[in-house]
Structure formats: structure tokens, C-alpha cells
């Protein structure tokens, strides 16, 4: 599957988030002079904004990706807690909240002038879920986890994901065969024993292994593999995704600790790193929950992180931004695409005012008749999509001795033509299911009348056009085969 296809599956992916939730308070303004009372800048307040922080930012990122999100955690019984609850409702997150009495909700207030952070004021106390509430939380977990695709633990080490509770949560995930992805903030990895995947940054990883690691060192990757292997053996972790800021990410799988996957960063211009780790966790979790291999999930997470660091303040990457950035990274995108990929690409082209045309066939041995039809079809549209029958559908239609050339060869020959913009291989007996999926503006084909052309009938009923192309007599694959036979 392509990266585009995993993005398309986000809207069906169900994710459970557990962790430390906070209120991020941003105070925006300007500084034009220094105080005469003390050598400090005078902040002229302009406006403010309140957002979900901590695991709340992970939730906001997941909702921006159209994922279905459930949150399980605790908040203080105070005004900040009420605001957090309101913001969760606004994000359409399904929440299971435990109200903690006499415990303040964590609030972080940032003062920002232009693109510069001047000061951050934290209002917090390390909280913990009372012993009496742990059974209730685990009961709630067992109620919601069966429908989930993945569980994300966002540990800011503020007390919710305690040394006692976190292993019990991971155990429940194992009982229900759900992958659990952890973003850690503590060096006590006993807390994460048995996690499917742990995602530390370089500073956190160096702290837990007790060694100062530098990506610029020649033996950096070897040291990472050695230290990761030790963690795998001691804590039964399934894998580690190590984020390296401007140096990208690396992945070490406990099943193959001697091999390592590294991808470079995709950031363009950095304005603010606030929340980039949350975005990375959200996209990594969404992609894995959608069925992506870790390597592909890392590519998407890396792209998303590059988007948010280019924004000011705690930010999210929308599904459209992620799709656009992915398109930009494909310097020479393949013309041969899947139905799922086509839906995204063609919808974007339509939004830009492009007229999408479609034709289809077996194209077994490309001849003058094919070229004539393709040229004519291209005259009626800006973007020409060609549907190619798979080998199996050709055999059903033409007989056991066809096709002469396999589907990959036929598709690549068509893709090499300048007049063809995209090629889609389809396995159905007709192109109608494909037409219904990609919804072109116009369909063009030779040799068909409208009453014998179901694809055209459907497209016309749905606002499209149909064009009957002129045919060159005596040109067909069958006649070519007969001439070759002598």
C-alpha cells in the first residue's frame, strides 16, 4: 500500500489516548522597549488563546487527521479543568474523565512577542490517580479498548501514568491484543515494560541508557543498536523509534536489533518546536493503527513534524497539509497509481479547476489504434487517466492465451506516453466500479454506443460527459497477433 492509502484510512482508525492532559495558554503581544524599573522587556498584550496541551495536543493532532479518538485520564476539579473538558468536547473527542479533587489542572502560560517566546509560566503540581480510582480507570479501559485499533500513552511524568498504573494499562492492552505506543518522559522503563513501541527523543534515550549520544559521531548508529538491544532484553519492548530533531528518526526492531532504519528530517523553516513530539506521536500512532508498517508510519510522522515546527505555538498538521507535503516530496511521482491514491490526487486536481478524462482497455499490444484513441481522449481533458485491465480480467474477457504482456508491462508502456497522465490497473470485469470511485469529468472510448456503455450511462447521470472516439479500421491486437502468426 502507498503512503496516500494509509492517510485515507485515518478516518476509519480508532485510537485510545491515555496520559497527562494540560491547558496551554498563549499570551500574544509585542515588545518595543525595556522597563525603566528593571532590565526586562515590557510586554504589550494583544490577544490570547487557550488550547489542549500534553496528551491533549496529541488528541488535537489526531482529530486534525480525522481519526476517531477516545481519551481516558484525569483532570482537576477547577476552572482550568472545566476549560479542558470544553476543549475536548469541541474537538469531538469521546472522553472518559476522572475528576481529581484538590488537585489543580496543569496550565502552562506562554508569552509570545512576534515569533519569539519571552517567558513560560507553569502552574502545576505532580498529580496521581488515587488508589481508590485505579480499579475504576481499568474498568473503563476494558470497556473501551475492544473497539480500538491502537493505544497511545503520552507520559509527561506528571503523575497520571505512574509506575504502578502504567504496567497494568499495558497488560490490559496485551490481553486485548492491541498495540500500545508510548511517548516517555522518565528514565524508569520498568513503567513501560512490554510496550509495543517506545518513542523517546535523543535526550531521553541518552538519559535512560546512561550515555551521551551524538548523531554526528561515526559510531552513533552502532551505539544506538547496542543500547536498544539492552533495553529490549530488560524491558521486553517491541521496538524503539528514536527522534533526532534535525537528524530525522531511526527505528530499531526488537526482532532484528542488528538492523536499523533511518529517515532524514523534512522540516523547512523552524519557528517553534512546541508540540512537535506530540504531532509525531499522533501521526505515528494513526498510521500504525491504519495498518502501516513502522517505516511508512515514520515517514508520515516526520513529514507532519516538519509542518508543525514551521508554525508558531503548539500546532497541528491537518490531513490536507500532510497530503500536500507528501505530494511535494514525490519529486518524480509514479504515473501508475492505485484507486485510493487516485481519489486524493484527482480530487485535488479538480479543486484546481482541472478537467479529468478517463478511458480504459486491455492495451495488450500497443498499436496505432490505441495511440489515436489516447490522443483524441486527451483533447477533451486536462488530465487523462487510463484504466488498464489486470491480467486476470483480461483472461476472463479474452481467453486463457491472453494477455500477451503482463499488467506491469502494459501499465509502464502507457505511463511512458506523454499524453497519459495516470494509469490505474483494475481487476473487475468492467471499469464501472473504478469510474464510481474516481468520478472523472469525462469518459472517452471508441466502438461503443451509449446504450451499450454502462460506464458512460452512470457518469452522465452523475453530471459527467461521454465522448465516442473515432476508430481507425483494421487496427486491433487480435489482427496483429494473426499477422505475427503468418
Q: What angle do the packed helices 202-209 and 220-235 form, to 10 degrees? A: 60
Q: Is 236 left (phi over 0), alpha (psi -120 to 50) or beta?
A: left
- Determine the Cα–Cα distance for residues 202 and 184; give it in Å rounded to an integer: 12
Q: How many alpha carbons lie under 13 Å from residue 275 in its C-beta half-sphere?
A: 34
- Determine the Cα–Cα distance for residues 337 and 288; give it in Å rounded to an integer: 22
Q: Which CATH number fits domain 3-14+53-102+128-329: 3.40.1190.20, 3.40.50.10680, 3.10.450.40, 3.90.1150.10?
A: 3.40.1190.20
Residue 115 vs residues 30, 182, 271, 279, 313: alpha-carbon distances, Å: 10, 31, 7, 20, 9
CA angle 289, 290, 292 (to 5 degrees): 95
pLDDT of the residue at 321 = 87
- Determine the Cα–Cα distance for residues 120 and 117; give it in Å rounded to an integer: 8
pLDDT of the residue at 15 = 98
257-293: string of b/e by CB count within 10 Å (b at 16+)? beebebbebbbeeeebebbbbbbbbbbbbbbbbbebe
- Determine the Cα–Cα distance for residues 99 and 299; give it in Å rounded to an integer: 38
Question: Could you tell me where the beta strands, DSSP code E, fall in 161-203?
Answer: 180-183, 197-198
- Determine the Cα–Cα distance for residues 164 and 154; give it in Å rounded to an integer: 16
pLDDT of the residue at 266 = 55
β-sheet bridge partners, residue 442: 357, 465
Give average pLDDT by consecutive 10-residue segment, the chain, 486 residues: 85 96 94 94 94 93 95 90 93 88 89 90 82 90 97 93 94 97 95 97 94 91 94 96 88 91 66 68 96 93 83 74 78 74 86 92 86 93 94 88 87 91 92 93 87 91 92 64 60
Which of the residues 278, 296, 421, 441 is marked catalytic? 278
Q: Known catalytic residue: 24?
A: no
pLDDT of the residue at 332 = 46
pLDDT of the residue at 271 = 44
Please state the domain extents for the chain: 3-14+53-102+128-329, 339-484
- Determine the Cα–Cα distance for residues 107 and 126; give it in Å rounded to an integer: 12
Nearest to 198 by CA among 212, 213, 183: 183
- Determine the Cα–Cα distance for residues 40 and 277; give it in Å rounded to an integer: 31
Number of CB atoms found within 10 A of residue 221's CB? 15
pLDDT of the residue at 306 = 81
Nearest to 407 by CA among 361, 345, 476: 361
- Determine the Cα–Cα distance for residues 252 and 229; give it in Å rounded to an integer: 9
CA angle 83, 86, 87 (to 5 degrees): 90
The CATH architecture of the domain made up of 339-484 is: 3-Layer(aba) Sandwich (3.40)
- Determine the Cα–Cα distance for residues 231 and 194; give it in Å rounded to an integer: 11
364-400: string of b/e by CB count within 10 Å (b at 16+)? bbbeebbebbbebbbebbebbbbbbbbbebbeeebee
Amino acid at each position: 500500500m502507498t503512503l496516500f492509502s494509509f492517510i485515507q484510512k485515518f478516518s476509519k482508525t480508532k485510537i485510545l489516548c491515555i496520559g497527562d492532559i494540560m491547558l496551554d495558554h498563549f499570551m500574544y503581544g509585542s515588545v518595543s522597549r525595556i522597563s525603566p524599573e528593571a532590565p526586562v522587556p515590557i510586554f504589550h498584550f494583544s490577544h490570547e488563546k487557550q488550547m489542549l496541551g500534553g496528551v491533549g495536543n496529541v488528541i488535537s493532532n489526531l482529530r486534525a487527521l480525522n481519526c476517531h479518538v477516545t481519551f481516558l485520564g484525569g483532570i482537576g476539579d477547577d476552572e482550568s479543568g472545566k476549560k479542558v473538558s470544553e476543549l475536548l468536547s469541541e474537538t469531538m473527542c469521546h472522553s472518559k474523565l476522572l475528576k481529581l479533587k484538590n488537585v489543580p489542572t496543569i496550565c502552562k502560560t506562554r508569552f509570545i512577542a512576534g515569533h519569539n517566546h519571552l517567558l513560560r509560566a507553569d502552574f502545576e503540581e505532580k498529580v496521581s490517580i488515587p488508589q481508590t480510582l485505579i480499579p475504576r480507570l481499568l474498568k473503563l479501559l476494558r470497556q473501551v479498548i475492544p473497539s480500538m485499533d491502537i493505544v497511545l500513552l503520552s507520559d509527561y511524568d506528571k503523575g497520571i501514568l505512574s509506575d504502578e498504573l502504567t504496567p497494568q494499562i499495558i497488560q490490559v492492552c496485551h490481553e486485548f491484543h492491541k498495540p500500545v505506543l508510548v511517548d516517555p518522559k522518565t528514565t524508569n522503563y520498568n513503567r513501560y515494560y512490554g510496550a509495543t513501541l517506545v518513542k523517546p527523543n535523543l535526550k531521553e534515550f541518552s538519559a535512560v541508557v546512561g550515555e551521551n549520544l551524538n548523531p554526528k559521531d561515526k559510531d552513533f548508529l552502532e551505539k544506538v543498536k547496542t543500547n536498544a538491544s539492552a533495553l529490549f532484553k530488560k524491558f521486553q519492548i517491541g521496538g524503539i523509534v528514536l527522534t533526532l530533531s534535525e537528524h530525522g528518526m531511526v527505528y530499531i526492531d526488537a526482532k532484528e536489533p542488528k538492523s536499523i532504519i533511518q529517515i532524514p528530517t523534512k522540516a523547512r523553516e523552524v519557528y517553534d518546536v512546541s508540540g512537535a513530539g506530540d504531532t509525531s506521536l499522533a501521526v505515528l500512532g494513526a498510521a500504525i493503527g491504519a495498518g502501516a508498517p513502522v517505516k511508512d508510519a515514520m515517514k508520515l510522522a516526520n513529514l507532519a513534524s516538519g509542518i508543525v515546527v514551521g508554525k508558531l505555538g503548539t500546532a497541528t498538521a491537518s490531513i490536507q497539509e500532510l497530503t500536500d507535503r507528501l505530494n511535494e516530496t514525490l519529486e518524480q511521482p509514479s504515473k501508475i497509481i492505485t484507486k485510493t491514491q487516485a481519489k486524493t490526487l484527482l480530487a485535488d486536481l479538480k479543486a484546481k479547476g482541472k478537467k479529468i478524462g478517463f478511458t480504459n482497455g486491455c492495451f495488450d499490444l500497443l498499436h496505432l489504434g490505441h495511440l489515436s484513441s489516447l490522443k483524441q481522449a486527451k483533447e477533451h481533458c486536462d488530465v487523462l487517466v487510463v484504466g488498464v485491465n489486470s491480467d486476470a480480467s483480461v483472461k476472463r474477457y479474452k481467453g486463457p492465451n491472453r494477455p500477451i504482456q503482463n499488467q506491469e508491462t502494459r501499465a509502464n508502456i502507457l505511463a511512458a506516453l506523454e499524453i497519459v497522465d495516470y494509469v490505474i490497473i483494475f481487476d473487475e470485469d468492467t471499469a464501472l466500479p473504478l469510474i464510481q470511485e474516481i468520478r472523472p469529468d469525462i469518459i472517452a472510448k471508441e466502438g461503443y454506443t451509449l446504450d451499450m456503455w454502462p460506464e458512460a450511462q452512470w457518469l452522465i447521470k452523475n453530471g459527467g460527459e461521454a465522448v465516442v472516439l473515432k476508430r481507425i479500421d483494421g487496427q486491433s491486437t487480435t489482427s496483429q497477433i494473426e499477422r505475427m502468426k503468418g
